[in-house]
Amino acid sequence: MIISLVKAAAFSGFCRLIATFFMTKSFLIDINIILIFPIIIICRYYSPKLTFFTSVFSVIFFLLNVLKIAVDYLSQVPDEFLSFIKNMSINQAPVLIAIIICGIACILISKKCHEMVVEQDIISTKNASVKTELDLASKIQLDMLPSEFPAFPDRKEFDIYASMLPAKEVGGDFYDYYLIDSDHLVLTIADVSDKVVPSALFMSMSRTILKLNAETYHSPKEIMKYSNNLLCDESKDRMFVTAWLVIYEISTGTLTCVNAGHEYPIIMRNNGEYEIYKDKHSFVLGGLRDVPFKEYTLKLNIGDELFLYTDGVAEATGENDELFGLDRTVSTLNKYKNCNQKELHKNIEQTLLDYTGNNNQFYDITMLSFKVKSI
């Protein structure tokens, strides 16, 4: 379309050169308007019929202009009228032809523009349909995650809060928490390797497999082992999951943990500061069958807090292409450590959004907080 318009404009300029050669300077101003008017209309409305109408109008306007000049000339120099008519028919014919050709060119341009507009409407409709499907998939995904807080209103021994801010319409992160008996609580946070719809499907499958195995095997390393083998069998696109899973023994405050290639947990001891706990990493889930998973234990006391997150926090990228990083993450946590869990998450999300500025958020921002209230 742009090339066609440039050609039309160039042709209009050529017509003006013809007009300059054959006509007086005062009359040239009107001719410029006549020649450019159909092009302006077509650029605005993309209508062949309207362009044809304006082209005809331009011709009529031109003829009226010629008639006006003829009348003026006749009133001033009656004896030279016949000579004037003869000269006009010779001198103005190229301009009249140029106007007609310009109108035809505008009609052809308008037809092409109209086709492009129709094609764009079809593409827009398809995109809107895809967006609707992605929005629905995103809603389904978010609805799958537990979101009622307090999570266990009848349990006064601990507090849990979790949140997820998807980077795209459908994210690949998930979190989970559930009791497998009256004294054992499972906490999970994970990140699927891909994004959008495939990761959401794999995320749903991973969450279900982990939960089913947690209800069967009460050891984190066993849960990870059997879940890993199933995910390896089911992963057709070589997708994998990083995950941090813990079984918390409520009566003793003991955490039994496995870190399958996930981010380090961050712990705040009672009335202290948040600090990174560099735990033992095992291999990711879904990457290789029959790999061993390392299990370790932690002891939490009353008032201690555990903060889990995905790479969307530390790897948020600022406008200077610098990562937010773990140091800023810990610093932000300590800045808002006196807030309740919900406010803490909101403040971290806002800090990350302020840091990234106009940069697109590529990773999901998923966080889970756990606090021991009594043992």
Please classify residue 100 by burial: count the beta carbons closer than 10 Å to its beta carbon, then call 0-12 exposed, 13-18 middle and 19+ buried: middle
Domain ranges of the chain: 2-124, 145-372
Average pLDDT in the chain: 79
Nearest to 109 by CA among 180, 210, 38, 178: 38
Q: How far apart are CA 170 and CA 152, in angstroms?
A: 27
What tokens does 124 get? 């827009």
Count other C-beta atoms under 10 Å from residue 33's C-beta.
12
Q: Alpha-carbon torsion 338, 342, 346, 348, what sign?
A: positive
User: What is residue 271's predicted lDDT score, i.e. its pLDDT?
Assistant: 82
* Ramachandran angles phi, psi of 366, nearest 5°: -125, 130
pLDDT of residue 21: 44
Q: Which residues 6+ apart lie within 8 Å of 259 measured at CB?
A: 244, 265, 279, 280, 281, 282, 294
User: Which of 225 and 93 is assigned the larger pLDDT?
Assistant: 225
Comparing CA positions, the residue from 244, 283, 247, 246 lying closest to residue 264 is 244
Q: Is the pLDDT of residue 118 over 50?
A: yes
What burial class does residue 131 get, using C-beta atoms within 10 Å of its C-beta: 0-12 exposed, 13-18 middle, 19+ buried? exposed
Q: CA–CA separation, 71 vs 93, rounded Å?
A: 19
Exposure of 309 in the CB half-sphere (CA atoms within 13 A): 25
φ, ψ for residue 135 (rounded to 5)?
A: -65, -40
Q: CA 292 to CA 281: how far, in whole Å?
A: 11
Taking phi first (over 0 means left), then psi (-120 to 50 degrees means alpha), and beta for anything else, what does residue 260 get? beta
Position 37 pLDDT exceeds 60 = no
pLDDT in tens, 291-325: 999 999 999 999 999 999 999 899 998 888 899 99
Structure token pair of residue 235: 């992963």
Cα 124 from Cα 118, distance rounded (Å):
10
Arithmetic mean of pLDDT, 256-260: 97
Q: What is the pLDDT of residue 168?
A: 63
CA–CA separation, 132 vs 306, rounded Å?
37
Per-residue pLDDT, averaged over 140-147, amounts to 79
**Is cis: bond before 198, omega within 30 of 0?**
no
> What number does CATH give the domain 145-372?
3.60.40.10
Q: Is pLDDT above 50 for 229?
A: yes
Instruction: Kindly state the percentage of the chain with pLDDT values over 70.
Output: 67
pTM of structure:
0.67
